[in-house]
Amino acid sequence: MKSMTTLLTEPREERCPAPANILVELAGVGKKYKLAKSDFWALRDINFSVEQGRILGILGRNGAGKTTLLNIIAGALAVTEGKVSLRGKVLALFNLCIGFQDELSGRENIFLNGMLLGASRKELESKLDEIIAFSELGDFIEMPLGTYSQGMRLRLGFSVVVNLDFDILVIDEVLAVGDALFQNKCFQRLTEFRRAGKTLIITNQGIDLIKRLSDTIVVVNHGRLVFLGNPEDAIARYQVLLNTEQFSVLPQDIVKSTKRSAGDISAWGQKLGTKEAVINNVEILNKWGFLCQEIETNSPLKVKVHFAVKDTIKESHFGVAIFREDGMYCYGPNTQFDNMHIPLLKPGSYYFIFDCEALLLAPGRYYISVAIWDKDETVAYDYHNGCYHLTVSGKICGNENALTNIPFKYNYSINPARLFNLFTGRNTFPSLDLSSVAWGQSYGLNNIEVKQVKFLDIKNKENNIFFTGEPVKIAVSFNRYPYRNKDLWLWIGIYRSDGVYCQGIIVPFFNKGGHIMYFPELALLPGGYAVSIGIWSSKTCNFLMYQHGLYPFAMEFNRQDHGTVFLKHTWIWNY
């Protein structure tokens, strides 16, 4: 009951207040390269804006799309989709020393280089003394550039750039070159720009520089914007990216499916292992930290495992797995997937805790396995397979027999108590599991015609591949519908592509506008899914129409946790 109240509030519109002075704005920007064999999206769905006087950092691994993004902001590349709006004079710096000619003198090169960067002869003439002074080249300025050292060239190139007039400066990794003194000078100059109210967009592999300079950082991965926010969080996110992914520029290392059911539920209750470490006791703790057998859905869960080490074990990993009583794999993380490093364990008594923020499982009976593995997860020191029992309690209308209970919001505020009473009062609301119905089948479409079912991402753009934990809206609209009837309900079921019923949602059916189910964090693990929808009449106790599995979508993730639903968690252990 309590959880229903908090869930069924109106979703907030995620819209930024319009700031006074946005100089750079990207909306839905995508860039496709046509390669010989196939098209390649170097960037997709990039949205952000930069206000005047702000410094934006762009972080991303090699090949993530940083340079393409900078090129697009600088106007050097045209976008394939979306829109870039720039207000002000853009100066792009992908390379110092553009157009430098060895045959010409330093002075002549100042003019050539400056004009290539968009300055006029007049502007350069008025700033010539300043540029020459800044470059500290002295009499060398009259010598042909061919006689310059690499450092002198850089100094000359940099002097030209920093003395030019601009509103927006876009800098690729050029400042990573040169000696420490040069870099210091660059840094000083950039902070001067910042004080002068210039807008800067920078990228650099050096995290320190970008952290010190930027107001905001965007993290780009596989051509998508994965984070936008303050530097500390962005760098944390970036480092997670660095840690969790193997080195590969291809998008293949995104996990697209997971292990989804237990191999053999008859093996439950077995305890296996080589017994270098022995699990003594497993405690299931509720949010108060009390031992329990029953946990309310959507509340915290801790699994505390006490174990004893007999022989010294070098690198070990802890694992926990949660199954539904019929063997459906709910969630199976381990410390290896989470890139944890457990140090050498000497003989003694230890414990580890799997601490889960919110148990997003539908009410029902579940079994828990716990294990201690060796470093490659090939040999189990001790493995208690399905030995521990857990009941998830709660009552959620329309979610009977489901697997998950992922929080969502609905666009019309409804009184959950009334909703609840309506169903329990009649006590006829059946299991809405359509598993027995053929996949892709529709029924009763004469009464009501579904116009469309759309999946929208955080920017309200249509998509059907999402990252685990991404905000997702499911928008359902109808072409033909019966008049408002208090006894009509819209039911939405999320199914795994193997037909397993994950979650059901029932909301009052309105004939105006669309119905939007908003998941702030759609925590489904990688794999294919599909949505079924139906209109339920609580008067006649049947579906006026349903469409089973007609609307597919897919989830991706950068980790390989087993199961169906991602439960945010941390690991704690003593040593």
Partner 1 sequence: MLREILNRRDLIGELVLRNIKVRYSRPVLGVFWAFLPPIFNVLIFYLVFSRILKVNIEEAPFMLYLMSAIFPWSFFQETVMASITCLTDSRNIVKEGGVPHYFIPVSIALANGVNFLFPLLLMLAMAVIMLKGLPIFAILLPLVLLIHIMLTIAVSIIVSVLYVKLRDIKYVFETLFLALFYISPIVYSASFIRQSFPETIYKLYVMNPLTGLFNLYRLSVIKGFVYFIKRDFGLISVLVVPLCFSLAMLIFAVHYYKRNRDEINDYLAY
- Least distance from C-beta 47 to partner 1, angstroms? 21
Q: How far is it, in rounded angstroms, from Cα 112 to Cα 65?
A: 30
Give min distance, CB of 90 to partner 1, in A.
8
Contact letters (x/-) for partner 1, 531-560, by CB under 8 A? ------------------------------
Identify which of residues 50 and 160 has a Cβ nearer to partner 1 in the complex.
160
Q: Which residue has the tokens 């209308």?
A: 397
Q: Which is nearer to partner 1, 104 or 128 (CB)?
A: 104
Q: How many CB atoms lie within 10 A of CB 62?
A: 9
**Residue placing its CB nearer to partner 1 in the complex, 52 or 80:** 80
Cβ closer to partner 1: 104 or 207? 104
> x-or-dash pattern for partner 1, window 99-138, by CB under 8 A?
x-x-xx---x--xx--xxxx-xxx----------------
Q: Which stretch binds partner 1 (CB under 8 A): 72-80, 267-275, 390-398, 457-465?
A: 72-80
Classify 455 as helix, strand or coil: strand
* Region of 90-98, 291-299, 305-313, 443-451 interacting with partner 1 (CB under 8 A): 90-98
The binder of partner 1 chosen from 71, 334, 335, 463 (CB under 8 A): 71
162-181 as b/e: b if 16+ CB within 10 A = bbbebbbbbbbbbbebbeee
In order of 37, 41, 244, the CA distances from 34 in angstroms are: 8, 9, 29
For partner 1, the binding residue among 46, 69, 77, 234 (CB under 8 A) is 77
- Beta carbon of residue 37, minimum distance to partner 1 (angstroms, whole number): 14
Residue 6 phi/psi, 5-degree rounding, is -75, -30
Q: Which is nearer to partner 1, 71 or 335 (CB)?
A: 71
Q: What are the CB-based long-range contacts (under 8 Å, 24+) for 121-127? A: 123/164, 123/165, 127/163, 127/164
| CB atoms closer than 10 angstroms to residue 134 | 18
Near partner 1 by CB under 8 A: residue from 16, 18, 20, 78: 78
Taking the CA of residue 454 as centre, how many other CA atoms within 13 Å lie in the half-sphere pointing to its CB?
15
Q: Which of residues 427-486 bind partner 1 (CB under 8 A)?
A: none
**181 is written with which tokens?**
């003194």
* Helix/strand/coil for 365: strand
Tokens standing for residue 223: 């051509």
Q: Which is nearer to partner 1, 53 or 99 (CB)?
A: 99
Q: Does 402 bind partner 1 (CB under 8 A)?
A: no
Q: Which residue among 22, 27, 76, 285 contacts partner 1 (CB under 8 A)? A: 76
Is position 94 an interface residue for partner 1 (rule: CB under 8 A)?
Answer: yes
Q: Tell me: does residue 88 bind partner 1 (CB under 8 A).
A: no
Shortest CB 97 distance to partner 1, Å: 9
- Locate 404 and state its tokens: 């998950």
Residue 547 dihedral angles phi and psi, to the nearest 5°: -130, 120
Minimum distance of partner 1 from residue 159's CB (angstroms): 17
CB of 118 to partner 1, least distance (A): 7
Angle, helices 106-116 vs 150-162, to 10°: value is 50
Closest CB 347 distance from partner 1, rounded Å: 60
Whichever of 22 and 104 has its CB closer to partner 1, that residue is 104
* Residue 74 lies near partner 1 (rule: CB under 8 A): yes
* Side chain identity, residue 408: F
User: Toward partner 1, which CB reaches closer, 74 or 358?
Assistant: 74
The nearer residue to partner 1, 109 or 316, going by C-beta atoms, is 109
DSSP 505-516: EEEE--SSS-EE
Distance between CA atoms of residues 556 and 539, nearest Å: 40
Q: Phi and psi for 194 in degrees, rounded to 5?
A: -60, -45
207 touches partner 1 by CB under 8 A:
no
| 34 binds partner 1 per the rule CB under 8 A | yes
How far apart (Å, rounded) are the C-alpha atoms in residues 153 and 101? 11
Q: Is 325 in the site for partner 1 (CB under 8 A)?
A: no
Residue 147 Cβ vs partner 1, minimum distance, rounded to whole Å: 13
> Is 92 one of the binding residues for partner 1 (CB under 8 A)?
yes
What torsion do the CA atoms of 429, 435, 439, 443 make, to the nearest 10 degrees? Answer: -20
* Other CB atoms within 10 Å distance of the CB of residue 231: 20
- Residue 354's contacts (CB-CB under 8 Å, 6 or more residues apart) are 302, 303, 305, 318, 320, 333, 569, 571
Angle of CA points 466, 435, 392, to nearest 5°: 75
Query: Taking contact as CB under 8 A, which single stretch among the options 76-84, 334-342, 441-449, 481-489 is the one that binds partner 1?
Result: 76-84
- 513 Cβ contact partners less than 8 Å away, ≥ 6 residues apart: 477
Residue 56: strand pairing partners = 201, 216
* Strands of the sheet with 470-480, listed across from one edge: 409-410, 515-522, 470-480, 449-456
* Nearest-approach distance from CB 98 to partner 1, in angstroms: 5
Cβ neighbourhood burial of 297 (10 Å; 0-12, 13-18, 19+): buried
Tell me how far, at minimum, the Cβ of 515 lies from partner 1, in Å: 40
Instruction: From 97-105, 395-403, 481-489, 527-535, give the range in contact with partner 1 by CB under 8 A.
Output: 97-105
Nearer to partner 1, 120 or 266 (CB): 120
Shortest Cβ 202–partner 1 spacing (Å): 16
Q: How far is the CB of 93 from partner 1 (least distance, A)?
A: 8
Question: Among residues 32 and 389, whose Cβ is nearest to partner 1?
Answer: 32
Number of residues that bind partner 1 (CB under 8 A): 27
Interface residue with partner 1, options 21, 33, 252, 271 (CB under 8 A) = 33
Is the Cβ–Cβ distance between 142 and 107 less than 8 Å?
yes
Does 248 help bind partner 1 (rule: CB under 8 A)?
no
| Euclidean distance between CA atoms 474 and 516, whole angstroms | 6
**Which residue stretch of 75-83, 131-139, 291-299, 440-448 sits at the interface with partner 1 (rule: CB under 8 A)?**
75-83
Residues at the site binding partner 1, with contacts judged by CB under 8 A: 33-34, 71, 74-78, 90, 92, 94-95, 98-99, 101, 103-104, 108, 111-112, 115-118, 120-122
